[in-house]
Each structure stands twice: as structure tokens, then as C-alpha cells.
Amino acid sequence: MRTIAFVMLALAACGGKESGIEEAKRQAAIEDHGKMAASPPAKKMSTPVPGSAKVPCSQLVDIPAFQSALGETEAVTVKDSQEAEAAASCSLVRGGKRPTAAEQTAMLKTKSRLGVLAGDVLCTVSAFCWTIEDAEHFRKRCAETKGTNDDTMGTFACMTVTATGEDDVQSFKFFDEDTKCILGVKGGPSMVDNDLIRKCAKAARDSIGPAQIAVGAAAPAAPAGSAAK
């Protein structure tokens, strides 16, 4: 297109000076516009949760949804677990009356360990939302950190295994398509039931959506249809 402009300038020098210059300018403008259209400005990206803002556990966690998913008969409560790198990190606590020290001693006479008692943490859900992530990048990071590709939730998760006494305890991290956050789920200190930890991870996947990580929002209902992820 620049060639046309040079030709028009040459014609202008031969007689049609003013009209040639204007035509050259017009052709140059057309060419510049075409270049701009071919190279649109880069799309602005933002993190799911801005800066280092925190999301309260009362907003992130739908307690009835988790209680139902975990099959807990006593009322489950939630507390902040203070994960420094997470926008929210919430521990779900088993409900009911905690056995006294004497009752715990009696229990140990018939079993090798007490397990998760009332007042103990069942599982912890953390939402890592301060970086820009995508599913492919997360899969690569899982391989780099020697995690195991796991599809037992029905969707991809990066699973790690930690030896806890005689048990191999699983924890899960996965890229959440709804929020664009990485969600991490692990059992409490006394939890060795991998099936329950997996149920907790599925409950996090199915109940946490954009409304649950919105900064400054009231505690919302679980997103409709999110279980189909």
C-alpha cells in the first residue's frame, strides 16, 4: 500500500500536486487502519480475586452443602485456617459433644486411635485466586511438582499422598473452571479417610462459584448446576 502512496506523490509532482498529496494521505490512512485491525490491543487480564484481598469463610463455604456431602449427622462449623497464600482457607469442624479425657482413655482400650472427634477438623478448603491460571498450565505444574493425575472426582485433580503413620493420606488441588481459582482440599490432622477427603473436594468443586469469591459480597447460595462441571 505504501507503493501506491509513493506513486501518487510522483503524480502530484508532475501536475496534480494538491490532489496527489491528499490521495497519498488517504491511502496511508487506509493502510494504517488495516494494520491496527490486524493487530488488536491485548486483552486485559485480571486475577479472580484482586490484589491480596481476602474472602471470608462464611461466604466461601456453604455449610449445609458440605455437611450433606460428608454425611455428617451433627452440625458442622467452619473456621479460618489462616493460609497465607490463599484468598480464603476454611476448615470444616465436626459437630457434636467432644468426649472428655476420661472417655477418650476408655475409647483407646478398644481401638488403636481415636480418629476425628467432635471439635476436630474434617477437611480444609483453600481458594488460591491471586494469580491468573488456566487448566493446561495447572496440569503442567502438577507434573512439575511430581503430583499424580487423578480423575476419581469425575474431573481432573492433582493428587498428592502424605504418609501419616500407617496410612497414605491423599490431598487434592484442581483448577476450577467457574472461578478460575485453584482450589486445594486436604484432611484435618487426624483424618485418614481418603473417601471423605475426596467428598470434601467434590463439595468444594460443586458449591464454590464466582459469587463465593466476590470481594465484599454477602454470603450467597451455591451456584445452580455447578455439579455438572
- Look at the pTM and tell me if it is higher than 0.85: no
Q: Mean per-residue pLDDT for 26-52?
A: 70
Per-residue model confidence as pLDDT tens digits over 5-19: 444 444 445 455 566
Q: So where are the chain's domains?
A: 2-38, 57-216
Integer angstrom CA distances of residue 123 from 1, 64, 94: 65, 15, 9
Q: pLDDT tens, 49-100?
A: 998 999 999 999 999 999 999 999 999 999 999 899 999 999 999 999 999 9
